[in-house]
Amino acid sequence: MKHTDIIRKLNLEQKCALLSGETVFTTRALPGKGIPSITLSDGPNGVRKQAGAADHLGLNPSVPATCFPTSSATACSWDEALGEAVGEAMGEEAAAQEVAVLLGPGLNIQRSPLCGRDFEYFSEDPILAGKMAAAYVRGIQKKGIAACPKHFAVNSQELRRMASDSVVDERTLRELYLTGFEIVVKEARPKTIMTSYNLINGTYANENAHLLQDILRKDWGFDGAVVTDWGGSNDHALGVKNGSTLEMPCPGGDSIRELMKAVKDGKVTEADLDARLDELLELVLSTHAAVEKAPRTFDAAAHHALARRAAAESIVLLKNEDGILPLKAGEKLAVIGDFAQTPRYQGAGSSAVNALQVDALLDCIKADDSGIAFVGYASGFDRQGAADPKKQEEAVSLAKQADTVLLCLGLDELRESEGLDRADMALAENQQQLLDAVAAVNPNVVVLLSAGAPVETPWVGRCKALVYGALGGQAGAGAAADILTGKLCPCGKLSQTWAKAYDDTPAKANFGGEGRNVEYREGLYVGYRYYQTAGVKPAFPFGYGLSYTTFEYSGLKADETGVSLTVTNTGSAAGAEIVQLYVAKPDAKVFRPEQELKGFAKVSLAPGESKTVAIALDDKAFRYWNVKTNAWEVEGGSYQLRVGASSVDIRLTADITVKGTNAPDPYAGLSLTHYVSGQITYVTDAEFEALLGHPIPEDVVRIDRNMTLGEMDHGRSPLGWLAQKVLRSRLDASFAKGKPDLNTVFQYNMPLRALAKMTNGMVSMGMVDGLVWELKGFWLVGIVRVIYEFIKNAILNAQLKKRLRQG
């Protein structure tokens, strides 16, 4: 331990008090003991420091900061150096705003395109997600503040996120949902990590000994502070015992007393408590010193330029028929679509940044000096999806006057948000109709799409070019203009597969459904791992992206440590190519996806130029998790190394032999037909249970501290029914208006215990227990207990506050 000298001077109450936040975004100070308070702030694509009234969903404005492209965008750059630069800039801004812990990056696996937070995450692939996240963390921590990768783990849907139980087999857990975190922890050494709200196989992530002790701390050697998600602590004492350090936001005195009691009762040892304190003190003292040293200003113009570069590197050209792009000098261009004037550049929720400045595409096109003749702008559609024939007519008549139409379509602000999954994968009907109408009068349509996650593109035949601008941050418009006009050559490649239709996606039957259990039935077959193994053709595959130039691959040399090859720019534009390395084992005995990404490299080339590209293979290249030996094993024999320009555009292959570890077949004697074939939409209960190694857990609503407010109608209290009804109707009304109220969504899906965890000490667990009695039907006793506990809590809190102030 590093801080025994301080820890020795603290009494039990002070120790316990330090392990939870004092306000929504700050830790507790004990000035008398030389312990300062530090600030933690979101988020993954820019700093969101709420100076005034803090609310954890980002509803109140924060201090202006640079809004970088979201992670789902920058992942399409496959550029670790860029990720590190973005991380460094965010770290610098955070330190300048006296933020010691930046709450990001988020690197949950994009399991379904409908997850409301896909925009905050990097990829459906753990290697790409892990490498990009590690780059961000290295950048953020360069000057001494802390990054906080999140949400650890298996938190791939928003519905009931504080109460859902991710039911997942150990191999899938390790290979898919944890490998990215493993890469971040081992390669970038984040000072903190944030646990997720959900349970994993029946135990909350934040108190999950398997996750936090066996894997995070022992296997991966993490020695930093584990931070709960906001209100994500269930039993703080159990969390502390199992490796969770800091409970956020500000649960108040009751949580401190509960922890003290647990120590006194022997549920948590003082050694565990001290270990957590040591982690906390290291975090607080080291980052506080870094923040103190940091300048209070930063170069906003340079960060804007970096945001623009990041956006440009991340734009993916999905279609370019007849070489319609880049736009040509002298060409008459009509700009249509609301997003051209009012850009959609980031997602909603806790990651929303109060951007320093926001560029609009319309202005960038008007200011462009490449000789394009701008003929006018029409908004074309109602952003929230209402039919607006007048706007459409205006757009159509403008389209008639132009050689080419730049049509800016996308998902509106409400469709991609923390706390809420998307209802479907479609582009709004009115936007599709506009495209039809415009294409009918002018076939030269270039669609620029603003969205943080894939959309269905049945309309793609009606445009000649499709440019995925993603959510490009505050400077995304300038970047898009540079790509469209050919000042820059597009080089981004998809980090998530675009299925032809939502119905084709592997998790559809087990995503966002009724009940608390979220069955990760598809196992390893997420994203391209599924589409390729099952032979389902997507609209745009993983790793796909076009360029204004062409590249040739040659001279592959390969062994089990990696590959090298020559890439030549055979076209006439300077450009960059992202070379991907997939590993396949066609004769595998232990089932596995058709192929898996194991490395990648990005290379910039002038026309005619050739460069040697080397991609190393590491310990993750051939391993699989064996549930029998409970260890990483390697199946020996021949492997195919596939080098490609996308997951389906394999240019060179090499067969190599790899020495195995001779482990027993983990699935011997089990019938796992659909896992072997990859046809996982047909997996039976028996197969899933065989994969899990235990029966599928029962899914019941219990009347206890973890019942959600939205589940109170399952109780026996008229008061509970009424409260549930009120919440439900508020929710429905906001949905009906097309403006889901995120706070109500949050409350509706919030467990009762979060009342005690998120009310700054006003509510105690005793009061929650009184409420539970009430809901169980002990109406009078329940109410009396709530009142009694309220008074007790208020008195104890006041006494505690006084003692801590003196301390």
Residues recognised as catalytic: 229
Q: Is 42 one of the binding residues for ligand BGC (CB under 6 A)?
A: yes
Both tokens of 266, joined, read: 């022997």
Q: Is 229 one of the binding residues for ligand BGC (CB under 6 A)?
A: yes
Q: Is 230 one of the binding residues for ligand BGC (CB under 6 A)?
A: yes
Q: Which residues of 585-624 are buried (b: 16+ CB within 10 A; e: fewer)?
A: beeeebbbbbbbbbbbbbbebeeeebeebebebeebbbbb
CA angle, residues 402, 405, 408, in degrees to nearest 5:
150
In angstroms, the CA 495 to CA 73 distance is 8
Q: Is 63 one of the binding residues for ligand BGC (CB under 6 A)?
A: no
DSSP, residue by residue, 387-436: --HHHHHHHHHHHHT-SEEEEEEE--GGGSBTTB--S-SPPPHHHHHHHH
In the complex with ligand BGC, the residue whose CB is nearer, 39 or 320, is 39
Cis preceding linkage at 343, omega within 30: no
Please report, as a single letter, which amino acid is at residue 685: D
In the complex with ligand BGC, the residue whose CB is nearer, 184 or 325, is 184
In angstroms, the CA 789 to CA 252 distance is 14
In angstroms, the CA 122 to CA 80 distance is 12
In the complex with ligand BGC, the residue whose CB is nearer, 60 or 638, is 60
CA angle, residues 672, 677, 682, in degrees to nearest 5:
70
In the complex with ligand BGC, the residue whose CB is nearer, 228 or 320, is 228
Residue whose tokens read 């792009």 = 325
In angstroms, the CA 468 to CA 447 distance is 8
List C-alpha distances in Å: 599 to 176, 227, 245, 310.
15, 30, 34, 21
Q: Terminal CA-to-CA distance of the chain, rounded, Å?
A: 23
DSSP, residue by residue, 487-524: SS------SS-B-SSGGG-TTGGGSS-SSSEEE-TTTT
Neighbours of 330 (CB within 10 A): 10
Please report the beta strands in 441-496, taking only residues with DSSP state E, as ranges in sequence order.
445-450, 465-468
CB 336 within 8 A of CB 395: yes
In the complex with ligand BGC, the residue whose CB is nearer, 419 or 715, is 419
Q: Number of helices and strands (H, E) in the chain?
A: 25, 26
- In the region spanning residues 567 to 606, those forming contacts with ligand BGC, defined by CB under 6 A, are none
Query: Nearest to residue 157, comparing CAs of 524, 513, 688?
Result: 513
In the complex with ligand BGC, the residue whose CB is nearer, 71 or 580, is 71
Both tokens of 77, joined, read: 């750059």
Neighbours of 295 (CB within 10 A): 9
3-state secondary structure of 441: helix
- On the CB side of 200, CA atoms within 13 Å amount to 25
Q: Is 245 one of the binding residues for ligand BGC (CB under 6 A)?
A: no
In angstroms, the CA 476 to CA 469 distance is 8
Beta-ladder partners of 21: 27
Query: Nearest to residue 534, comparing CAs of 699, 685, 709, 680?
Result: 680
- Using CB positions, name the residue nearest to ligand BGC: 350
Query: Nearest to residue 66, comparing CAs of 356, 272, 280?
Result: 356
Query: Nearest to residue 68, comparing CAs of 295, 373, 302?
Result: 302
To ligand BGC, the closest distance from the beta carbon of 350 in angstroms equals 4
In the complex with ligand BGC, the residue whose CB is nearer, 644 or 740, is 740
In the complex with ligand BGC, the residue whose CB is nearer, 64 or 607, is 64
Q: Which of 28, 150, 308, 309 binds ligand BGC (CB under 6 A)?
A: 150
Q: Is 775 one of the binding residues for ligand BGC (CB under 6 A)?
A: no
In the complex with ligand BGC, the residue whose CB is nearer, 205 or 334, is 205
Both tokens of 780, joined, read: 């009078």
To ligand BGC, the closest distance from the beta carbon of 56 in angstroms equals 4
In the complex with ligand BGC, the residue whose CB is nearer, 349 or 527, is 349
In angstroms, the CA 741 to CA 80 distance is 36
Rg (CA), the chain: 27
Burial tier of 696 (Cβ tally within 10 Å: 0-12, 13-18, 19+)? middle
To ligand BGC, the closest distance from the beta carbon of 588 in angstroms equals 37
Q: Which of 66, 74, 314, 350 binds ligand BGC (CB under 6 A)?
A: 350
To ligand BGC, the closest distance from the beta carbon of 50 in angstroms equals 9
Q: Which of 56, 276, 602, 785 binds ligand BGC (CB under 6 A)?
A: 56
In angstroms, the CA 504 to CA 499 distance is 6
To ligand BGC, the closest distance from the beta carbon of 49 in angstroms equals 11
- In the region spanning residues 72 to 131, those forming contacts with ligand BGC, defined by CB under 6 A, are 103
In angstroms, the CA 759 to CA 771 distance is 15
In the complex with ligand BGC, the residue whose CB is nearer, 68 or 230, is 230
Q: Is 206 one of the binding residues for ligand BGC (CB under 6 A)?
A: no
User: How many residues sit in the footprint of ligand BGC (CB under 6 A)?
Assistant: 7
To ligand BGC, the closest distance from the beta carbon of 747 in angstroms equals 12
In the complex with ligand BGC, the residue whose CB is nearer, 418 or 596, is 418
Tell me how long the chain is.
807
CB 272 within 8 A of CB 241: yes
Please report, as a single letter, which amino acid is at residue 762: M
To ligand BGC, the closest distance from the beta carbon of 76 in angstroms equals 22
In the complex with ligand BGC, the residue whose CB is nearer, 150 or 620, is 150
Query: Nearest to residue 316, comparing CAs of 578, 648, 76, 112?
Result: 76
Both tokens of 300, joined, read: 């906003």
Binding site residues, ligand BGC, CB under 6 A: 42, 56, 103, 150, 229-230, 350
